[in-house]
Amino acid sequence: MRGKFITFEGIDGSGKSTQLRMLASELRLRGFDVLTTCEPGGTPLGRRLRETFLETEETVAPLAELLLFAADRAQHVNFLIKPALENGKIVVSDRYADATAAYQGAGRGFDEETIKQVIRLATGGLKPDLTLFFDLPVAVAASRTTSRSNDGEKKNRMDSETFEFYERVRASYLKIAAEEPERFRVVDASGSIDEVKAKVLQVIKAFLD
Ligand code: TMP
């Protein structure tokens, strides 16, 4: 039996990675076979790519960035996501193709057709069964990422993007959510960790039932 493919999306600082870890533990406690993963960096090649093009101060051309996220995704889909789904697992990924539409499309300004083609090429058409978008105002997210980097967390090039960039990324996610209401659930991420966790569990329970 094919498993289920769930993705978490949000602007940086939305708290999705913490929620993903908590959801995976809850599901495992309930006996589900769960694989947690992330983009970029879900595979050994992806982790090396992530270091070279994201965790660097080198200027990266927007087209190179678009194609490197796609390369990471192609490797991820082939060697991790597809095999796990074929084995009946619940795969929960911290970001997937919607991030390319939001960040490289709306953020960097690539046109919709180019983005669609690159996504189709990288994923072979594999779409998530469910996507949770963790939504919160850009200013709140920015204050969370600042306190995270003060705590010594690894920085990446996206952390230095402007407020306007993140406004475009957020608006793009909300647009995709409105266009694909079957697949997308918008979760208000402005509450406490426990409040957001309760909402996530509610959404996942309804989906798995
Ligand atoms: P992370 O910090 O959630 O691991 O994500 C790394 C950064 O890469 C984050 O700022 C979002 C960005 N990103 C893109 O711009 N395009 C993509 O396709 C993906 C997967 C991530």
Distance CA 144, CA 191 (A): 13
Minimum mean pLDDT among 28-32, 45-49, 139-143, 187-191: which range?
139-143
Confidence of residue 152 (pLDDT cuts 50, 70, 90): low
Report the separation in Å between the CA atom of 31 and the middle of ligand 1, taken as the mean of its atom positions.
30
What is the per-residue pLDDT for 46?
98
- pLDDT score at 52: 94
- Is 185 a residue whose pLDDT tops 70? yes
Index of the ligand 1 atom closest to the CA of residue 72: 20
Confidence bin at 151 (pLDDT 50/70/90): low
pLDDT score, position 83: 98
Q: pLDDT at residue 150 above 70?
A: no
Long-range contacts of 43-46 (CB under 8 A, 24+ apart): 43/72, 43/75, 43/76, 43/79, 43/80, 45/72, 45/75, 46/72, 46/75, 46/76
Ligand 1, atom 2, residue with closest C-alpha? 12
pLDDT of residue 209: 87
Mean pLDDT of 27-41: 97
Q: Sorting pLDDT into bands at 50, 70 and 90, what band is 145? A: confident
Token output for 6: 């769930």
pLDDT at 157: 84
> What percent of the chain is modeled with pLDDT above 70?
96
Query: Which sequence spans correspond to the domains of the chain?
Result: 4-208
Cα gap 135→163, rounded to integer Å: 15
Mean pLDDT of 122-129: 98
Longest dimension (CA), the chain: 47
Write out pLDDT tens, residues 101-123. 999 999 999 999 999 999 999 99
Ligand 1, atom 6, residue with closest C-alpha = 40
Query: What pLDDT is stored for residue 168 in this prediction?
Result: 98
- Kindly give the distance from the C-alpha atom of residue 39 to the centroid of ligand 1, in angstroms, as a whole number: 7
Q: Is the pLDDT of residue 195 over 90?
A: yes
Please provide the DSSP assignment of 44-61 as one string: HHHHHHHHHHTSS-S---
Its CATH architecture, for the domain 4-208, is: 3-Layer(aba) Sandwich (3.40)
Kindly list the protein residues whose Cβ atom lies closer than 6 A to any atom of ligand 1: 12, 38-40, 54, 69, 94-95, 99-100, 103-104, 156, 158
Q: Which atom of ligand 1 is nearest to the CA of 96?
A: 20
More confident residue, 159 or 125: 125
Mutate to test the pocket of ligand 1, among 100, 158, 162 (most ligand atoms within 8 A of CB): 158
In ligand 1, the atom with minimum distance to the C-alpha of 157 is 10
In this structure, are residues 128 and 183 in contact, taking their beta carbons and an 8 Å threshold? yes
Give the predicted TM-score (pTM) of the model. Answer: 0.96
